Structure 1
Amino acid sequence: MPIFDRYILRQIFPPLAFTLLIALLVLLVERMLRVLDSVLGSQGTMQVVFELLAYLVPHYLGLALPMALFLGIYFAFRRLSRESEMDAMLASGTGLHQLLRPVLLAAGLMTLVAALLFNTLQPHSRYAYRSVLSSVQNMSIEALIQPGVFVSNENTTLMVEEISSDRRQFRRIFIHEEDKQADEAATITAREGILTETDDDSPPFAQLFNGVRLTTSVDPTEAEGPREPESGEERSDGLLRFEEMQTRLGEDAYDAVQPRGEDEREYTIPELWALKDSPPEGIERSRLLAEMNERLVRIVSVLVLPFVAIPLALSNRRSQRSSGVAVGVVTLLAFNEALQQGVRMVRREQLEPFLGIWGPLIIFFTGSMILFLTTAFRVPRYQGTGIIDRVTTAFGALMEKRRARRSAS
C-alpha cells in the first residue's frame, strides 16, 4: 500500500472511532432511562439493565456509523488541507481521485460492518431484547408482594398481611381478579395460603384455605349464573365460601415469549427475500419489502459518504470556519428523512420500493458525484491511464471548455 494511502487511513480512523464511541454513549444514556424504568419497575436487577443495553448496541451502531464515517473523513481531509499537507500531495503528481482510494477502502470496510449490523446483529439482538424485556415485565406477581401493600399486575390486585421468611406461606390474603374478556371479576379473601411452583413455564398457583370468593359481572346483561359449588364449598347467590381452593397469580399477565419473527425487523435480509411472496400471518407484504429495501439502501449509502465529505472538507481551505461540516450533517439528515418518508409510503403501498426507497439514494449519489468531480478538477490532476483516470480527465476537460465559453461570452 502506498505511503499516502497508509497516512490517510491513519488520519481517518481515530476521529471515526471517537465519533462512533461518543454517539453510541449518548444514544445509550438516553435509552437507559427508559430501560431503568421498565426493569426496576418490575423488580429487575441492574444486570438485566446492562444486558438490555448490550442488545441495543447493534441498533445504535447502525444509526451512528454513517455520521461517524462522514466526520472521520471530513476532519481528516480538513486537517490535511489547513496544514498544507494536501498541497504537498497534489504537488507530487497525485490527483484527488487517487487520494480517494484509501478512503474508499475505509468506506468498504465500514460497508461490511454495516452489512453485518443490518443483516444479522440487529434482527437477532432486537429479538433478544424483546425476549428479556418480556420476561422481566411478565415476572409473576408473587415477586412483587410486600406485607400490607396492594400490588397490581395487569388484571390482578393482591395484598397479604403476613409473609413467611421463605415467601411461600401467607396469612390474611386479599385477591381481586378480572378474566381476559373483562366480563367478570372475582374478589377472594382467605385466612391462609401456600404458594406452589409449577414444573413448566406457567405462573405459580396459590393454594388458599378458609376463605370467601365473591363473583361479580362487569356487564350484568351478559352475566352467566354462578357455578355449582364443589366439595367443601357453600354458595349463597354470588358468594362462595370454601375450605380450600387454588388460583393462579397474574395468569393473564404471563405471556410466553413468541419465536423470532413476530416483527419484520427481526428477520435477516435473506429471510425477508424468501418471505416476500408468502408473508407470515400478521405481517403485510409491503412491510417486508419496505424493511428489506431500507436495509439494503442503508448499507449501500455508506459507500457514497466519501464523495460528500472530501469536497466539503476542501471548500474554503484557508478559512477558519468549518461550515462544511454543518452542510454535510444537514445533507445526511435530509437524506435520512427522505428515506424514512419513502419507507412509510412503501409500507402504505403508495409508492414502489424503487421510487420511495432507492430514489433518495440515487439522488444522493448523483449529487455527491457531481460535487466530488467538480472539486477534483479545481486542483492539479495526474494524467493516468486507468479507467477512473480517463473518466475524471474527460470530465475535467469538459469543465475547462465550459469555463472557457463563459469567459468568452
Structure 2
Amino acid sequence: MFARLDRYLIRSFLGMFAGLTVLAMALLLLERLIRITEIVSGSGSAFASASLLVANLIPHYLNLALPGAFLISMILTIDRLSRSGEIVALMAAGVSLYRIVLPFVQFSLVLAAASLLISGFLQPLSRYSYREIVYNLQHQSVLSVFQEQKFVQYDNRIIWTDSVLPGGRLGQTFILESEPDGARTLLTGGSGKLREIRAGEWEITLLGGAGASYRDADPPEEYDRIEYGELSWPVIAETGQYRARGGDERELFLPELLAKAGAAMPGDIAPAVAAATFHDRTSRAALLLAMPLIAIILGLNLGRVARSSGVVLGILFLLGVQKVLEYTLVQTSEGVIPPWMGFWPIVVVVAAASIFLFRRLAEGGIITNRPRIAARPGTDYASALAGKPRT
C-alpha cells in the first residue's frame, strides 16, 4: 500500500514540477536571447551558433529554476490534495503527515544531489564553453563587435559606431584602446570601412577624423593630438586558441574550489572567493532538503475555509533566502566573515524552523492546540466512511 501511496504522491507532483521548471527556465532565458542574437548576427551559421549558446546556458538557468519550481509545485500539490479531501482520508486511515511527507523528502535528496552535480560540475563547464563560443564568434566575424549605436567592449577596446552598412561601411565611429601600462588611444572618424586583411585579421579605415594618445595622469594640454584625412588601424587580430578553463571562480569545479580555498599562495582567484563560492553552492543544495517540510506547512489545509496564501508565502520565502545568500556571498568573498559562518547558520535556522513547525503541525497545530487526526485501534474507517456498520 505504502509503495503505491509513494508513487501516487510523486506522480501527483512530478508533472507540475516539470512544467514549472520548464516555464521558469524559458522566462529566464528570454533576457539572454537579445544578447545572443547580437552575438551571432555576423556569423555564417547563426542558428547553429545560437543553439549552442542556449544549450550551454541551460545548466545555469536549470539550477536557478529548480528550488522555486520544487517548492511551489509541492505547495500546490499539497493544497490540491487537501482541498480534495485525500489527505484527510489518508490521516483518518492512520497515515501520518510524517509518512505523507516521506516520498517528497526522498525526492529532495535526489534533487539536492542533482543540484550539486549541476552547480559543481556541469555549470562551470558550460559557462566556460559559452565564453569560448562567444570568443570564437567574435574572432570569426568582427561585424559582431560593431553594433549600431551601442558601446561594445572587446578585450582592451571600447567601440561605438553610428551605423553598419553593407560591404563593411561604417558611419561615425569611436574607438578607445587601453594598454596595460595605462596608455590610451582615442580615435574618432566621420565614416569608415571595415575589411579583412588576412584570415582572422581585420582593420578599419577611418576617414576625416581626429584622436589623441594620453595617460590618465596627463593633463589635457600634454595629450598627443592626432588629425587625419584617412587612417588605417588594426581592430582585431587572431590571437590563437581560447584560454584554459578557470578564468574565474564560476568556471571551477567543486574540488577545484576546495583546493583554491586552501591555497597558501595568492593567485588569480583569491582563497576567500573560492571558499565563499564552494559554501554558496553546497548550502543551496542543502536547503532543498528542508523544502518538503516547508511545502507541507504552507500548503496543508484541513479547515473548512480554503487558503490561497501558501504560494505567496513560498515565493516570499524564496526571495528572502536568495537575497540573504547573495549578501552573504559578497561578505564572505571580501573576507568580512568566514564562509562556513556565513552560509551554514542560514541552513541550520531554516532547517530547525521547518522541523519545529512541521512537528507542531503533525502533532496538533502550529497556532492552536488542535489535536491531530489519528487512527484509533479497532476502528474500521473504510466501513465508517462508506456509512456501513462494522461486522
Taking structure 1 as the reference length, the TM-score comes to: 0.71
Partner Cα separation in structure 1 for residue 129 and residue 31 of structure 2 = 20
Partner Cα separation in structure 1 for residue 320 and residue 202 of structure 2 = 55
Is it true that 1:327 corresponds to 2:313 in the alignment? yes
Partner Cα separation in structure 2 for residue 115 and residue 186 of structure 1 = 48
Verify the 8 A CA contact 2:276 2:333 in the aligned structure 1: yes
1:97-152 superposed Cα distances (whole Å, 9 cap, x missing partner): 0112211121122112212111111100111111112223344547889xxxxxx9
Partner of 1:107: 108
Residue aligned with 2:30, SS: helix
Partner of 1:197: 198
Verify the 8 A CA contact 1:140 1:250 in the aligned structure 2: no
Verify the 8 A CA contact 1:81 1:317 in the aligned structure 2: no
Change (3 A) 1:74 1:282: same
Alignment partner for residue 251 of structure 2, among 266, 276, 287? Answer: 266
Verify the 8 A CA contact 1:141 1:249 in the aligned structure 2: no
Partner Cα separation in structure 1 for residue 323 and residue 245 of structure 2 = 29
Partner of 2:32: 31
Partner Cα separation in structure 2 for residue 28 and residue 162 of structure 1 = 31
Verify the 8 A CA contact 2:67 2:288 in the aligned structure 1: yes
Partner Cα separation in structure 1 for residue 97 and residue 160 of structure 2 = 71
1:210-262 superposed Cα distances (whole Å, 9 cap, x missing partner): xxxx9986259587xxxxxxxxxxxxxx99xxxxxxx8842469685321111
Residue aligned with 2:235, SS: coil
The sequence identity of aligned pairs, in percent, is 26
Partner Cα separation in structure 1 for residue 187 and residue 88 of structure 2 = 83
- For the aligned residue pairs, the C-alpha RMSD in angstroms reads 4.3
Partner of 2:262: 277
Verify the 8 A CA contact 2:202 2:235 in the aligned structure 1: no
Report the count of equivalent residues: 345
Partner Cα separation in structure 1 for residue 294 and residue 143 of structure 2 = 58
Partner of 1:341: 327
Change (3 A) 1:144 1:361: closer
Structure 2: gaps of 5 or more residues: 147-151, 215-220, 365-371, 377-391
Partner of 1:218: 213
Verify the 8 A CA contact 1:140 1:249 in the aligned structure 2: no
State the structure with more CA Rg.
Answer: 1
Q: Which moved more, 1:177-186 or 1:287-296?
A: 177-186
1:344-390 superposed Cα distances (whole Å, 9 cap, x missing partner): 1101111111221112111111111111111111223479xxxxxxx
Partner Cα separation in structure 1 for residue 319 and residue 293 of structure 2 = 16
Q: Following TM superposition, by how much is the alpha carbon of 1:277 offset from its aligned partner in structure 2, in angstroms?
A: 2.2
Is it true that 1:380 corresponds to 2:373 in the alignment? yes
Change (3 A) 1:5 1:183: closer
Partner of 2:149: none
Partner Cα separation in structure 2 for residue 358 and residue 349 of structure 1 = 16
Partner AA of 2:285 in structure 1: I
Residue aligned with 1:258, SS: coil
Verify the 8 A CA contact 1:96 1:381 in the aligned structure 2: no
Q: List aligned pairs for 1:62-73, cutoff 5 A.
A: 62-73=63-74
Q: Which moved more, 1:119-128 or 1:324-333?
A: 324-333
